[in-house]
């Protein structure tokens, strides 16, 4: 059965408190540190499971977009543990499932929750789902996250369109493309000058304007976590041009671009930057801000899907 899906939406969503697994459970899959031929074989195993259902687009998120996922027509729901070698998040609020069906007249695959580097996974494991999606023929990745505001004009509950990112994890030697390169997936040295697709950025802007939603634009800094940033960290990030900071997204986006996928990224501003150290930051604060961001995020994503549908019909 061939896939009709072209878009993936990845949602990193605070939803509930999952059962935590011991650290040895995270590593018992013996996933290689690099994406090599063995990992490529495991990717095919996950593909064989997903080919049992026919989706068409994909998304990845940090927020509970229950209404959006619930509105997917003819939905097939697959828990991550049912997919061979698929990493499962141990973080509070990540549902850990794929929702596959139709949204805005388009086939979609929604990833509710992601694995993080700070959980003890290798970069190969963190980005494994993106490789699976690439092999399914998915062309567009819409990725969202919760991020702390560095730009003083941002407030909790705002949305930021990601126009570029700082790959600080990669600068420390943890680039997801380190290791043997499989030429069938992408070039050894991929260009990252237009990481976030300009056409998709414009569709998001149009969607926000049409719905009267305030949408900032800025640079997302990707750190490893899990500790929140110190005041000195934040002052440094502000000085080098970052507008928001988080602990995900950049590795998946790099792998997506390596494989030729078009990427759209949106950050939900979950908390204000604490540049002077006077206000502590908590995970609960992040979850609470998600409630304000979800309706706006849903509206923009629906608008982008509607525009893509119209473009496809006119071609």
| pTM for this entry | 0.81
Contact 92, 116 (CB under 8 A): no
Q: Phi and psi (nearest 5°) for 95?
A: -65, -35
d(CA 48, CA 42): 10
Short-list 143, 264, 161, 268, CA closest to 219: 161
**How many residues are recorded in the chain?**
315
Choose among 84, 73, 132, 80: nearest CA to 108: 73
The pLDDT profile of the chain, 315 residues, written as one tens digit per residue, is 233 445 556 555 443 333 334 333 344 445 555 555 555 555 555 555 554 444 445 555 434 445 676 778 888 889 988 888 888 877 665 568 888 888 888 888 888 888 888 888 999 999 999 999 888 888 899 999 989 999 999 999 999 999 999 999 889 889 999 999 989 889 999 999 999 999 999 999 999 999 999 999 999 999 998 988 899 999 999 999 999 999 999 999 999 999 999 999 999 998 887 777 666 666 666 667 777 888 899 999 999 999 998 887 777
Residues 6 or more apart in contact with residue 237 via CB below 8 angstroms: 150, 166, 221, 229, 245
Q: Are the C-beta atoms of 255 and 127 separated by less than 8 Å?
A: yes
Q: What are the start-end ranges of the H helices in 9-127?
A: 23-27, 37-50, 66-70, 123-126
Query: What is the token pair recorded at 177?
Result: 């493309």
DSSP β-ladder status, 244-246 and 140-149: antiparallel
Q: Are 205 and 215 in contact (CB under 8 A)?
A: yes
Q: What are phi and psi of 29, to 5 degrees?
A: -80, -10
- Burial classification of residue 256, based on how many CB atoms lie within 10 Å of its CB (0-12 exposed, 13-18 middle, 19 or more buried): buried
Predicted pLDDT at 161: 98
- What is the CATH topology of the domain spanning 5-314? Rossmann fold (3.40.50)
Cα 81 to Cα 93, 138, 205, distances in angstroms? 16, 22, 36
Which pLDDT does position 73 carry in this prediction? 83
| Alpha-carbon span 281 to 224, nearest angstrom | 16
Q: How many CA atoms lie within 13 A of 304 on its CB side?
A: 32
């Amino acid at each position: 059965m061939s896939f009709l899906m072209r878009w993936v939406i990845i949602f990193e969503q605070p939803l509930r408190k999952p059962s935590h697994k011991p650290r040895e459970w995270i590593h018992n899959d013996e996933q290689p540190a690099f994406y090599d031929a063995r990992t490529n074989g495991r990717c095919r195993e996950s593909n064989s499971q997903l080919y049992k259902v026919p989706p068409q687009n994909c998304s990845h998120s940090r927020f509970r977009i229950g209404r959006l996922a619930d509105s997917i027509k003819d939905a097939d729901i697959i828990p991550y543990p049912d997919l061979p070698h698929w990493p499962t998040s141990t973080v509070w609020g990540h549902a850990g499932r794929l929702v596959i069906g139709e949204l805005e007249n388009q086939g979609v695959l929604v990833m509710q929750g992601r694995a993080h580097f700070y959980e003890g996974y290798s970069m190969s494991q963190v980005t494994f789902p993106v490789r699976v999606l690439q092999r399914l023929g998915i062309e567009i990745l819409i990725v969202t996250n919760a991020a702390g505001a560095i730009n003083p004009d941002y407030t909790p509950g705002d949305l930021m369109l990601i126009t570029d990112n700082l790959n600080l994890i990669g600068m420390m030697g943890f680039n997801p493309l380190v290791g043997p390169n499989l030429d069938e997936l992408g070039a050894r040295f991929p260009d990252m000058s237009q990481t976030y697709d300009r056409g998709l950025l414009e569709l998001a802007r149009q969607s926000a304007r049409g719905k009267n939603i305030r949408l900032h634009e800025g640079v997302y800094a990707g750190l490893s976590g899990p500790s929140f940033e110190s005041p000195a960290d934040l002052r440094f990030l502000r000085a080098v041009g970052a507008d928001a900071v988080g602990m995900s997204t950049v590795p998946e986006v790099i792998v997506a671009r390596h494989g030729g996928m078009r990427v759209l990224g949106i950050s939900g501003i979950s908390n204000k930057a604490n540049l002077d150290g006077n206000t502590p930051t908590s995970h609960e604060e992040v979850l609470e801000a998600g409630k304000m961001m979800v309706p706006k995020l849903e509206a923009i994503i629906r608008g982008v899907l509607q525009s893509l549908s119209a473009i496809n019909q006119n071609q």
